[in-house]
Chain A
Amino acid sequence: MNAIVTVLGHDKVGIIAAVCALLAKNNVNILDISQTILQGAFTMVMAVKMDASCSVGDLRTQLEALGQEMGITIRIQREEIFDAMHRI
């Protein structure tokens, strides 16, 4: 299942490393990353592929905990929601 991970917050050392490590630990493959600093805010969007053993709900809990720890907002959402809203 494909999902989109978005990370928003103040830039600091180690955000990408921490998020990627957590995804790797859950056997989640990263298909694409785009990262930029928008008006001083760290903004990263990742397209990821999860295997059947991993649920979006579980991963969401872990990512939210990591986000809290680092003082940033991390989300994971199934890709279909963006497809539905932006593609015909």
Chain B
Amino acid sequence: MLNQKDILSTIEMIDQQHLDIRTITMGISLLSCCDENPQKALMKIYEKITRYAENLVKTGEDIEREFGIPIVNKRISVTPMALVAGASHTEDYAPFAAALDRAAKACGVNFIGGYSALVQKGMTEADEKLIRSIPKVLAETDLVCASVNVGSTRAGINVDAAALMGQVVKDTAAATTDRDGFGCAKLVVFCNAVEDNPFMAGAFHGVGEAERVINVGVSGPGVVHHALQAVKGQPLDVAAETVKKTAFRVTRMGQLVAQEASRRLDAPFGIVDLSLAPTPAIGDSVARILEELGVSVCGAHGTTAALALLNDAVKKGGVMASSSVGGLSGAFIPVSEDEGMIAAARAGTLCIDKLEAMTCVCSVGLDMIAVPGDTPAETIAAIIADEAAIGMVNNKTTAVRILPAPGKRVGDTIEMGGLLGSAPVMPVHPESSADFIHRGGRIPAPLHSLRN
């Protein structure tokens, strides 16, 4: 029989340390829905999503009840919409987003991702139409998430696209002024975007993926934090071992849930994403793990090193525990969604420059950061370009999800509620980057020998 101590430790993890499955995401290919006639395409899209994902939420809830493990989100990701909508003779892509929104609501999921375009090397007409429609779409729909990939290690950075996205982020904030620019929380700008990411807002179902697939994202910053409290003051290799063992347990649970969901929904199991995803709840923070490792406040010197240790140990433990690992797989550092990060940003210790350094060693990027509403579009584009450069050179995924909250200044806070939390408005450098961004063109792909 199982050891009583093990059973009680699992229950304590769930009850007191916020252990949960963060998301079960069904990826659905919409390539078969392409049609010259946009009306027909919309019907096909709605029909296919609601047919495949009809039982997604119910299955998630059943598994939650039977295994006694909370499954926080059930979501859908679809083929990048620019690829599907591009086949239709229409100038207006907003109805495609509306169809996604309706389908998501019919299925009962809380987000649908894939209003996306992949433009790392160049933009098609469809890509550009889609990108320009993003502000309107994010203001008019509730559940649709948009993402745009502007760079990759193989293609370099499309600075024209980054410049356009700077403006799109501003316009999205303006279109949702009544909600403090909330639309930007549903918009991610990527470099090296992955095709099997189950986490929002950046999830889409890549073209290299199967017809449909189940991807699962686990969580557990609270569990890691708690485990580290038992090895206080011991050398960092001991801490790394402790994180590894904990990540192994958490991921095994994710693997079990993923396989069970895949079997019940008759959709192939894709990947488990090993990301440590925080929530604004006390005791569910990545920042507090770094502080447990000995950095007095997240953002102080040493934070990047602590994060590198954490991120690597989570992967090492997780890889052993799952038959297929993918997605973003790393520690997330979304400022507004992490109670410790919010506190550190309010105190002024955690700044955007430090966050940028942290993204060199972890997943995924400058995430859920509020900046002053009067930040110029070029500055946002330059932030996107900086982050994309880190991803491009280091062969990793990076992203920017930034909220220039209209009318807000440094020191203000924007409240988004729920898992999205609250974001203190952080300062950006006031000096202009406009001339750099206005040059446009592409930053060529980096050399991958002579590495230093």
Q: How far is the CA of A79 from the CA of B347 in the complex (A)?
A: 45
How far does the alpha carbon of A4 sit from the alpha carbon of B67 in the complex, in Å? 10
Q: Indicate which residue in B3, B7, B253 contacts A84 across the interface (CB closer than 8 Å).
A: B253
Contact string against B for A residues 40-75, beta-carbon threshold 8 Å, 1 for contact and 0 otherwise: 000101010000000011001000000000000001
Contact residue among B4, B65, B250, B255 (Cβ-Cβ distance under 8 Å from A45) = B4
Specify which of B1, B3, B67, B256 is in contact with A31 (CB 8 Å cutoff). B1
Query: Complex: how many Å from CA A84 to CA B138?
Result: 40
Q: Which of A6, A43, A45, A81 contacts B67 (CB 8 A)?
A: A81
Contact code string B54-89 (vs A, CB < 8 Å = 1, else 0): 000000001001111100000000000000000000
Contact pick for B66, options A36, A78, A84, CB 8 Å: A78
Chain A minimum-CB-distance residue to B6:
A86
Contact size range, B: 20 to 34
Give the shortest distance, in Å, between A76 (CB) and chain B (any CB): 7
Interface contact A81-B10, CB-CB below 8 Å: yes
List, in ascending order, chain A residues with CB within 8 A of B8's CB: 6, 43, 45
User: Which of B1, B62, B253 sits near A81, CB closer than 8 Å?
Assistant: B253
Count of A-B residue pairs with CB < 8 Å: 64
Give the chain B neighbours of A86 by CB distance below 8 A. 2-3, 6, 10, 249
On whether the beta carbons of A83 and B2 are closer than 8 Å, the reply is yes
When the two chains form their complex, are residues B65 and A85 in contact, meaning their CB atoms are under 8 A apart?
no
Among residues of B, the one whose C-beta sits closest to the C-beta of A76 is B68
A11 at the interface (CB under 8 A from B): no
Q: Judge whether B62 and A57 touch: CB under 8 Å.
A: yes
A80 to B7, CA, bound (A): 11
Closest-by-CB residue of A relative to B12 is A8
For the side of the interface on A, what is the size category? 20 to 34
A40–B342 CA distance with the chains assembled, in angstroms: 38
Are B68 and A77 closer than 8 Å at their CB atoms?
yes
Q: Given the complex of chains A and B, what is the CA–CA distance between A61 and B4 in angstroms?
A: 23
Task: Tell whether, in the assembled complex, residue B2 and residue A4 are in contact, meaning their CB atoms are under 8 Å apart.
Answer: yes
Contacts A47-B1, A81-B256, A85-B10 given: A56-B249 contact, CB under 8 Å? no
Q: How far is the CA of A34 from the CA of B7 in the complex (A)?
A: 11
With an 8 A cutoff between CB atoms, is B252 at the interface?
yes
- Residues in A2-56 with C-beta less than 8 Å from chain B: 4, 6, 8, 31-32, 34, 36, 43, 45, 47, 56
- A6-B11, A31-B1, A75-B11 are contacts. A82–B6 as well, Cβ < 8 Å? yes
Query: Complex: how many Å from CA A86 to CA B68?
Result: 16
Q: Would A78 and B67 count as touching, CB distance under 8 A? A: yes
Provide the residues of chain B in CB contact with A4, threshold 8 Å.
2, 7
Contacts of A56 in B (CB 8 A): 65-66
B interface residues with partner A (beta carbon < 8 Å): 1-4, 6-8, 10-11, 62, 65-69, 249-250, 252-253, 255-256
Residue ranges of A at the interface with B (Cβ–Cβ < 8 Å): 4, 6, 8, 31-32, 34, 36, 43, 45, 47, 56-57, 60, 75-86
Known: A43-B8, A56-B66, A57-B65. 6 other contacts (CB 8 A): A6-B7, A47-B2, A77-B68, A78-B67, A85-B249, A85-B252
